[in-house]
Structure 1
Amino acid sequence: MNTVVENRPDQNQYALVEGDATVGFAAYEIVGDEIRFTHTEIEPSRRSTGLGAQLVQGALDDVREGSERRVVPLCPFVADYIDEHVDYRELLTR
């Protein structure tokens, strides 16, 4: 089944949606020119399937394409993702 990443600014989160179900989210705070990712969560039965990486990639791509905000990865999962994917490191120094 296809999954999509949706920005839900009214909930301060990016949601990973599969069909009609939300299977994960990446919570964030906007502070000035920063977007601070604070927590990422995938439905427990769906962990270890790559969905967390898909969620973070979609969220970071949206930040890159839709804003000039600097990413502050307070969530360890987001920080690890950026460490492992060097093409996203530029988002840390915008």
Structure 2
Amino acid sequence: MPTRPGIIIPAVLFASWADKGRALVVMGGLCLKKSPRVKTTLAPPGRRNVAGMTTESAIKGFIFTDEKDASRYTLMHDGQLVSVLDYRDDGRTISLTRAFTIPTFRGRGYAAKVVERAVADLETRGDRHVIPVCWYVADWFDAHPEHASLLRTR
């Protein structure tokens, strides 16, 4: 982006695509020249915007987040990221591709919690079938046959 001498362009670092979206909204108020890439207002209903990209809920000290723009569910405890469940959504099915727990938090059942909350979220929505690509997610579904109706059948 060409600039004139004396113009300072702030550098914004972000850890995930969700943070990038939030940074663009904040930066939008700082930009004098409006750009279609910088979001300064909420999108009309039915279109994506930062407000609709991340949903979260708190239960017993845990914060469960669906970061739609990063295609992942996250589980945080005491402000620290403890577990992540990556997914790919094609509009009809959702493939749960990888469950990962930060090594220092392993052995405490956090991966099971994030999978359980993700499955509960998908059951509540009721518009997707699940393909368990990750071995851990497949084992979780084997241990919880009451959720088998959510799995995609061939």
- TM-score normalised over the length of structure 1: 0.92
Amino acid at match of 1:54: K
What CA deviation, in whole Å up to 9, does each residue of 1:7-64 have, x standing for no partner? 1101100001112221110000012300000001001011111111111000000011
Structure label with greater radius of gyration:
2
Letter in 2 for 1:47: R
**In structure 2, C-alpha distance between the alignment counterparts of 1:5 and 1:87, rounded to whole Å:** 22
Residue number in structure 2 paired with 1:26: 85
RMSD: 1.5
- Per residue, is there more helix in 1 or in 2? 1
Query: Counterpart amino acid of 2:80?
Result: A
CA contact 2:131–2:152 (8 Å) conserved in 1 = no
Higher RCO (C-alpha 8 Å, min separation 6):
1
- TM-score, scaled relative to structure 2: 0.58
Alignment identity in percent?
A: 28
Structure whose residues are more often strand by fraction: 1
What is the number of equivalent residue pairs in this alignment?
Answer: 94
> Which residue number in structure 2 is paired with residue 38 of structure 1?
97
Tell me the residue number matched to 1:81.
140
**Letter of the structure 1 residue corresponding to residue 109 of structure 2:** G
Tell me which stretches of 4 or more aligned residues in structure 1 moved more than 3 Å.
none
